[in-house]
Amino acid sequence: MDCELAPSPSLVQLVLVAIVCFLCVGMYNALSGLGGGGQVSAKPADNANTALYSTFSIVGFFAGTFANRLGIRLTLGLGGLGYCVYASSFLCYSHTKSDGYVIFSGALLGVCAGLLWTAQGAIMMSYPPEHSKGKYISWFWSIFNLGAVIGALIPLALNVNDTTNSTVSDATYIGFIILMFIGALAALCLCDASKVMRSDGSHVILMKNPTWQSEIWGLWYTLRNNTYILLLFPMFFASNWFYTYQFNGINGAHFNTRTRALNNVLYWAAQIVGAFVAGYSLDMNRFRRVIRARAALIGLFILTGGVWGGGLAFQSSVPDRDVTSQPDYHGKLDWTDAGFAGPCILYMSYGFYDAVWQLCVYWFMGALSNSGRKTANFAGFYKGIQSAGAAIIWRIDAMEKPFMIEFATTWSVLAGALIIAAPVILLKIKDVTPIEEDLQFTDLNYADIVPQAYIGEDKHSLNTRATDPEQRSPSAMDKDMELSSMQRDKNSEDA
């Protein structure tokens, strides 16, 4: 995309990132959602995912430095390449039964995914204006998960007549590989962050002249001066923990091949619904942002109790791993069976819940900062801690622990994370994020980011005020509140 003639709208850039994730991560989710990466045994996928999330947890935590130094476009493109390598390893495994390439591809994908998700997180949290963050995140999540829905339709179409429990076809894997590679190339269509303009005319906050040294120190400054983020780490840790139990403990264990494929489609479709419900609810600007944050916390508590309470009833009523993993087990459900509806609805409820959880986490972080530089580091912390949790639970699954243990740990981690995160959500999220907080530890000033149509003052005055605290008058400090108020008024008029 040619960004030299005019700044690119932030929404256009968000949609482009969503398309990249649609083709890369969406296809990966569709493949994972089959249970065991489409193989009869889940162990190769478990080993690959343990390697994946081990490297992801390390690279992801520090990936904000790479995103800020290399730029969003290059970081996202490099990140996308690992996904097609990962899919190719399962095609290879279908013929060779060799674990080596599968584990290597998982480790490589961990490095690449750390880069991709950090770049994506920075865009999703810093590009939207404050009054539209929930909607922007929901649009991204919906487009991204539409990729998983379409990706899940591929194995459904190819295995629609397979009522047994078998490995998916080679054509399924080849389709995933091609789509993932196209997604990596699509990242080249993005503009640099410095060329992006929000709908209110403001620009994204980032370093004009980043160096490796400035961005390594920037990572440390972000953690040191925003220690409250540590209380969100348990939410980060929990945010991928549930996938292992859902994919392998429910879909892989209790349904035949074609029904797993159908469940996969419905699961990701439910995520789209959950994203829209959560995103638009969080952007109900008739309520103050503080009120919306508290309502989101209460809603998460209610959903965690309701959905996972239903999950307990299901898990208590079905055979555990010691039975379902036997080659001669014939109790797997088909969509024509009378008992299919209840477990299917539960599985869709898990998809809805997962989207609400992840979208709320992104919205909470986005409500704490509008800085592209800071949110890149936040996104890195998020994906790093998230992946550490995922590495642990995938390893537990590879050790073939009972599904009831996986269920119990998942529910406990989710509930505990909400309790620990509550002080940040209740006390740190404000109605407006002060601009001067986001400008700390950058080489920008007010005049670089605030819309000129709004400012009404000459650039020299703003430069002086932004860099000299003694000259920063109360009226100037109030501009943040005034700007946010104008944004809310404009949003109400548009509605």
One domain for residues 418 and 449: no
Which residue, of 379, 398, 427, is where some domain finishes?
A: 427
One domain for residues 451 and 411: no
One domain for residues 83 and 15: yes
Residues 6+ apart with CB under 8 A from 399: none
One domain for residues 115 and 206: yes
Query: What is the C-alpha to C-alpha distance for residues 375 and 68, in angstroms, rounded to an integer?
Result: 10
Checking if the pLDDT of 66 tops 70, the result is yes
Per the structure, the complete domain to which residue 138 belongs is given by 10-193+202-427
Helix and strand numbers, DSSP H then E, in the chain: 23, 2
Of all residues in the chain, the percent with pLDDT exceeding 90 is 29
pLDDT at 479: 44
pLDDT at 204: 62
Looking at 7-11, 38-42, 164-168, 488-492, which range is the least confident one? 488-492
Structural domain includes residue 440: no
Structural domain includes residue 437: no
The full 3-state SS of 157-188, as one line of letters, equals HHCCCCCCCCCCCHHHHHHHHHHHHHHHHHHH
Checking if the pLDDT of 337 tops 60, the result is yes
One domain for residues 69 and 138: yes
Task: Return the C-alpha torsion angle 455, 489, 284, 190, nearest 10.
Answer: -40
pTM of the model: 0.76
Checking if the pLDDT of 474 tops 70, the result is no
Residues across the chain: 495
- For residue 161, report the phi and psi dihedrals to the nearest 5 degrees: -100, 5
One domain for residues 389 and 462: no
pLDDT at 292: 95
For residue 494, give both structure tokens. 């548009």
One domain for residues 253 and 344: yes
Q: What is the rounded average pLDDT of the residues 354-380?
A: 87
One domain for residues 224 and 339: yes
* Tens-place pLDDT, residues 299-324: 999 999 999 999 999 999 999 988 88
pLDDT-based confidence at residue 18 (cuts at 50, 70, 90): confident
One domain for residues 162 and 120: yes
Structural domain includes residue 139: yes
List the CATH number of the domain containing 416.
1.20.1250.20
Structural domain includes residue 158: yes
Which residue, of 369, 394, 427, is where some domain finishes?
A: 427
Looking at 132-146, 305-319, 428-442, which range is the least confident one? 428-442
> What is the b/e burial string over 240-272, where b = at least 16 CB atoms within 10 angstroms of the residue's CB?
bbbbbbbbbbbbbbbbbbbbbbbbbbbbbbbbb
pLDDT at 205: 54
pLDDT-based confidence at residue 405 (cuts at 50, 70, 90): very high
* Tens-place pLDDT, residues 363-373: 999 888 877 77
Which residue, of 377, 393, 427, is where some domain finishes?
A: 427
One domain for residues 374 and 403: yes
CB 435 within 8 A of CB 446: yes
Higher per-residue pLDDT: 438 or 239 = 239
Structural domain includes residue 3: no
Checking if the pLDDT of 458 tops 50, the result is no
CA 298 to each of CA 275, 295, 302, 408: distance values in angstroms, whole numbers, following the listed order: 17, 5, 6, 21
Residues 6+ apart with CB under 8 A from 405: 396
How many domains are contained in the chain? 2
Structural domain includes residue 1: no
One domain for residues 399 and 486: no
pLDDT at 495: 43
pLDDT at 151: 75
Q: What is the rounded average pLDDT of the residues 111-132?
A: 83
One domain for residues 420 and 488: no
Query: What is the C-alpha to C-alpha distance for residues 81 and 108, in angstroms, rounded to an integer?
Result: 9
Looking at 66-70, 87-91, 227-231, 350-354, which range is the least confident one? 66-70
Structural domain includes residue 320: yes
